[in-house]
Copies of this chain bind each other. A is one copy, B any other.
Amino acid sequence: MATKKKSPVAKDAPPSGGKRAPPGKKANDPRDRATIDAIRDTAAGIRDMINKKKKPELKMPVRALSNVKYDPKKGFFEIGKDKKVRTLSVATVKTFAQTLKMMALSKELVTNDDFATKRDAYYQSKNWGDARFDEQSESDTVMDDIEALFSSNGVSREQLRYIPDQHGGAVAGELVVIDHDLDTGESIEIDCTRFGSGAYAVPSWVEHLKFRTKAKFILCIETQGMFQRLQSHKYWQKASCVLVSMGGVPTRACRRFVRLLSEQVSIPVYAFTDCDPYGFANIYRTLKVGSGNAAHINQFFCVPNVKYLGLTPQDIVDFDLGKATHPLAEIDMKRAFDALKNDPFFQSQKPWRDAIDQLMKMQKRAEQQALSLHGLNFVIDEYLPAKLKHVDKFLP
Contact = CB atoms under 8 A, between A and B. Distances in A.
Interface string A193-226: 0111111111111001000000000000001110
A123 interface: yes
Given A1-B386, A181-B196, A199-B203, A10 B247 contact: no
Interface stretch (A36-44, A45-53, A165-173): A165-173
A93 interface: no
A120 B386 CA distance: 21
Interface in A97-141: 114-117, 119-120, 123-124, 126-127
A16 B383 contact: no
A324 B123 contact: yes
Contacts of A362: none
Contacts of A163: 225, 228
Given A7-B320, A319-B7, A119 B179 contact: no
Nearest to A4: B318
A102 B1 CA distance: 57
Interface in A177-201: 177, 179-183, 188, 190, 194-201
26 contacts: A3-B318, A7-B382, A8-B320, A10-B374, A10-B378, A11-B374, A14-B375, A17-B375, A17-B378, A18-B375, A20-B233, A116-B376, A119-B225, A123-B370, A124-B376, A126-B324, A179-B195, A179-B196, A180-B196, A181-B196, A195-B200, A198-B200, A198-B201, A198-B203, A201-B245, A204-B225
Given A3-B318, A225-B117, A190 B194 contact: yes
B182 A197 contact: yes
A4 B247 CA distance: 30
A335 to B, nearest CB: 21
A155 B55 CA distance: 72
B123 A373 contact: yes
Interface in A15-36: 15-20
Nearest to A234: B183
Given A182-B197, A182-B234, A203-B199, A19 B120 contact: no
Interface residues of A, number: 87
A198 B190 contact: yes
A238 to B, nearest CB: 10
A363 interface: no
A137 to B, nearest CB: 12
Given A4-B318, A224-B167, A381-B19, A196 B188 contact: yes
A1 B319 CA distance: 9
A390 to B, nearest CB: 8
Taking chain A's interface residues, is the majority helix, strand, or loop, or is none over half, making it mixed? mixed
A16 B386 CA distance: 18
A127 B381 contact: no
Contacts of A361: none
Nearest to A232: B182
B198 A13 contact: no
B319 A17 contact: no
A183 B180 CA distance: 32
A372 interface: yes
Interface string A364-389: 00010111111111101111001001
